[in-house]
Amino acid sequence: MVFYKTEEEIELIRQSALILSKAHGEIALLIKEGVSTATLDKRAEEFINDNGAVPSFKNYNGFPYSLCISVNSTVVHGMPGNYILNDGDVISVDAGVYYKGFHSDCAYTHAVGEVSEEVAQLLTVTKESLYRGIDKAVVGSRIGDVGFAIQQYAESFGYGVVRELVGHGIGKSLHESPEVPNYGKRGQGLRLQDGLVLAIEPMINLGTRYIVQEDDGWTIRTRDNKPSAHFEHTVVIRKDKAEVLTTFDYIDKVKNQ
């Protein structure tokens, strides 16, 4: 069942998304060589709790952390821990916030220090593919139009578009209908209507699109062990242009310091 949100509900998701976006800024402040991924997780949980909210991922289907932290060839659902960030790593930070009954979801892939030109381009293209998908997420479009835009752009660089994991509706539940694949055919799938809130989240691999799951039951890795990138926004469908409820502005502010 697809839930279309009222303006009151969207306002609560907007507030949830603001806390989440600021949390991403706080995490960005800490990302550098020598820092453990557990440190980032701890800071995120503290910041989210201090703002009267709850990390959506913690205890979700038994996931024990507030963040999914996915380094290099890990695509998504990586677990924070003792891993120490190195110069040249790429690290996807995925977080969710639950506030006043509503979830928001947002991910960003950071470069730690200097990364190769090849990997820097993967990050740039993956972020751009997200915005190309969002451009199609308007009243009257279909889910397939969003996926097509992402896939076409990413594949034009020879990248692998992960298919097993997809974006999703979001609201009272972290994952709602419909699924939002990062691939698709134009003109196919659900027709988008005003008030539908979606988490759009391309997961793009430098090499093969194929993935494997680690024995921990969570960590998803590229099959060829090449790096992967992941960017995500929570958006609400509107006429002509989606409203992007999460923002990377707080991350950009840190990066431009």
Query: DSSP alpha helices (H): ranges in the chain?
Result: 7-30, 37-50, 117-136, 143-155, 249-255
CA 199/CA 245 separation, integer angstroms: 10
How far, CA to CA in Å, does 137 sit from each of 2, 144, 164? 15, 10, 21
For tokens 């706080």, name the residue: 26
Compute the least distance from the CB of residue 107 to Mg ion, in Å: 7
How far apart (Å, rounded) are the C-alpha atoms in residues 225 and 221?
7
Q: Should residue 45 be labelled a site residue for Mg ion when binding is judged by CB under 5 A?
A: no
With contacts defined by CB under 5 A, name the span among 34-42, 61-69, 105-113, 184-192 that binds Mg ion: 105-113
Q: Does 105 bind Mg ion (CB under 5 A)?
A: yes
Q: Which residues in the 194-253 window bind Mg ion by CB under 5 A?
A: 199, 201
Return the SS3 of 129. helix
Smallest distance, Å, CB 114 to Mg ion? 29
Nearer to Mg ion by Cβ, of 20 and 125: the residue is: 20
Which stretch, 41-49, 193-201, 217-225, 245-253, contacts Mg ion (CB under 5 A)? Answer: 193-201
Radius of gyration from C-alpha coordinates of the chain: 17
68-76, 78-86, 97-105, 220-228 -> range binding Mg ion (CB under 5 A):
97-105
Q: How far is the CB of 56 from Mg ion (least distance, A)?
A: 9
- State in angstroms the smallest separation of the CB of 199 from Mg ion: 4
User: How does 191-221 read in b/e, with b if 16+ C-beta sit within 10 Å?
Assistant: ebeebbbbbbbbbbbbbebebeeeeeebbbb
Query: In the bound complex, what is the minimum distance in angstroms from residue 225's beta carbon to Mg ion?
Result: 24
Residue 247 to residue 106: CA distance in whole angstroms: 8
Token pair listed for 108: 């960003």
Least Å distance, CB 257 to Mg ion, is 28
Number of residues engaging Mg ion in binding (CB under 5 A): 3
Binding site for Mg ion (CB under 5 A): 105, 199, 201
